[in-house]
Amino acid sequence: MQAVLELARRIEEAPQKAPRELRAFVKANAFPIVEGDTATFFFWDDRPIDAIYLVHWVFGLESRQPFARLGNTNAWYLPIDLPDSARVEYKFELTRRGQRAWIRDPLNPLRAYDPFGSNSVCPMPSYREPAWIEPETGVREGRVELIPVKSKVYGQMREARIYMPAEYKPHKKYPLVICHDGGDYLKYAGIKTVLDNLIHRNEVAPLLVAFTDGVDRNREYGANPKQAEYLVEELLPTVERRFGVARNPAKRGLMGASFGGVSSLFTAWQYPGVFGQLMLQSGSFVFTDVGSHDRGPLFDPVVDFTNTFRGDPGRVAARIYQSCGTFESLIYYNRSLLPLMRKAGLTVRFVESQDGHNWIAWRDRLREGLTWLFPGHLWMTYE
């Protein structure tokens, strides 16, 4: 903020030098400008605009915040206080001649991608991208094989991608994780590279991962008995027939984010004793004590299930790694489940991050979750 105030002072003293001052300011700074706990968002355009707003996904802050104009220039700014290790995805909303448009921050090259496109990213000083998200020297890569799955439940052929570690041998038995939204985990969270690195480091045990994707995703994943039946009675046997899968429930897991987290927990609830490990990331575990949930009809079966689950959480009989971002509206629901699950005797590791409901937040928790659920021999020795 101090940098912008100093710019405003110079322009006020010499208005005729404003274009030169602005060009020099843009050239000299990285944006947003982070000073201590404050991130100052900045926009400058030769064409006049009526207004500009910061659109972000930080629950607890007004999601659409107006910028202030810098004097009589076409430059605009907005300071926001954020936690030191926060990571925020955002866009700008511009209004010109009554027309609104969302754009990425043209002065910020940092991007995060998801199925809907991309956002600009503001990392605060203590946030660091993990080293293990990039291919590491000397790592033997696993491979991914596409297999067909005949589904009577859904009345069609489906597909799954199976990750096999580099050391895979058909005669051996390996732990198995079934991963919801597998295509997105592969594309937006880089999970194959993460698996290659962590298995090579012996931090995660060599394991198989079955990546599955929904067709009518939200309805299938929203506490739907059909999806649980498909996973347990069709996908799991198909994988077992073709690959060396451990039969011990402690070596079988389910994972997913958002509605994928709901489907993972719901499946473990519907079929207790089949999966002994769960990785639930930003699960959409909306519940009600009284009244309605106000989240639309897609959440009706989710709320019904979560309300039921809260009465008997021990039924899932699994170890749980649960993570959620403090900037998500779901944080309240995830926090609220934790004492209930622990009271029921479940072993739960719960982790919060100063991030939102997005693929990078879920990627950044993969090492912690996988090493806790499926530790390799080095992790068991040194952690």
Does residue 109 share a domain with residue 163?
A: no
Average pLDDT over residues 33-56: 94
pLDDT number for residue 46: 84
Beta pairing partners, 204: 375
Tokens of 362: 């879920």
pLDDT number for residue 222: 98
- Of 234, 256, 72, nearest to 149 by C-alpha is 234
pLDDT digits (tens, 9 = 90+) for 104-131: 999 999 999 999 999 999 999 999 999 9
Mean pLDDT is lowest, of 43-47, 50-54, 172-176, 357-361, for: 43-47
Write down which residue in 63, 97, 123 finishes a domain. 123
pLDDT digits (tens, 9 = 90+) for 218-244: 999 999 999 999 999 999 999 999 999
Does residue 214 share a domain with residue 94?
A: no
Residue 135: CATH number of its domain: 3.40.50.1820
Residue 348 has pLDDT above 70, yes or no: yes
Does residue 46 share a domain with residue 147?
A: no
- Please tell me the total count of domains within the chain: 2
pLDDT number for residue 291: 83
d(CA 258, CA 254) in angstroms, rounded, equals 13
Residue 379 has pLDDT above 70, yes or no: no
Average pLDDT over residues 151-163: 98
pLDDT number for residue 206: 98
Mean pLDDT is lowest, of 52-66, 172-186, 343-357, 368-382, for: 368-382
Share of the chain above pLDDT 70, in %: 99
pLDDT number for residue 380: 55
pLDDT number for residue 383: 46
Does residue 139 share a domain with residue 119?
A: no
Residue 381 has pLDDT above 60, yes or no: no
Q: Looking at per-residue confidence, does 290 or 84 come out higher?
A: 84
Does residue 334 share a domain with residue 239?
A: yes
pLDDT digits (tens, 9 = 90+) for 159-211: 999 999 999 999 999 999 999 999 999 999 999 999 999 999 999 999 999 99
Does residue 112 share a domain with residue 38?
A: yes
pLDDT number for residue 234: 98
Does residue 229 share a domain with residue 162?
A: yes
Write down which residue in 81, 100, 123 finishes a domain. 123
Does residue 377 share a domain with residue 239?
A: yes
pLDDT digits (tens, 9 = 90+) for 366-377: 999 999 999 998
| pTM score of the predicted model | 0.94
Does residue 323 share a domain with residue 226?
A: yes
Q: What is the span of the domain harbouring residue 118?
A: 2-123
pLDDT digits (tens, 9 = 90+) for 256-304: 999 999 999 999 999 999 999 999 999 999 999 888 898 899 999 999 9
Does residue 112 share a domain with residue 149?
A: no
Does residue 162 share a domain with residue 108?
A: no
List, in sequence order, every beta strand (DSSP E) within the chain: 33-35, 38-44, 51-56, 64-66, 68-69, 75-81, 87-96, 99-103, 111-114, 117-123, 143-151, 156-164, 176-179, 208-212, 252-257, 277-281, 319-325, 348-353
Average pLDDT over residues 84-96: 96
Cα 247 → chain centroid: 30
Q: Looking at per-residue confidence, does 72 or 264 come out higher?
A: 264
Q: Looking at per-residue confidence, does 163 or 57 come out higher?
A: 163
Residue 40: CATH number of its domain: 2.60.40.10
User: Which residues, 6 or more positions from 45, have their beta carbon under 8 angstroms from its beta carbon?
Assistant: 74
Write down which residue in 73, 107, 123 finishes a domain. 123
Average pLDDT over residues 323-345: 97
Does residue 290 share a domain with residue 151?
A: yes
Average pLDDT, the chain: 95
Cα 143 → chain centroid: 24
pLDDT number for residue 153: 98
- Of 305, 309, 302, 300, nearest to 284 by C-alpha is 302
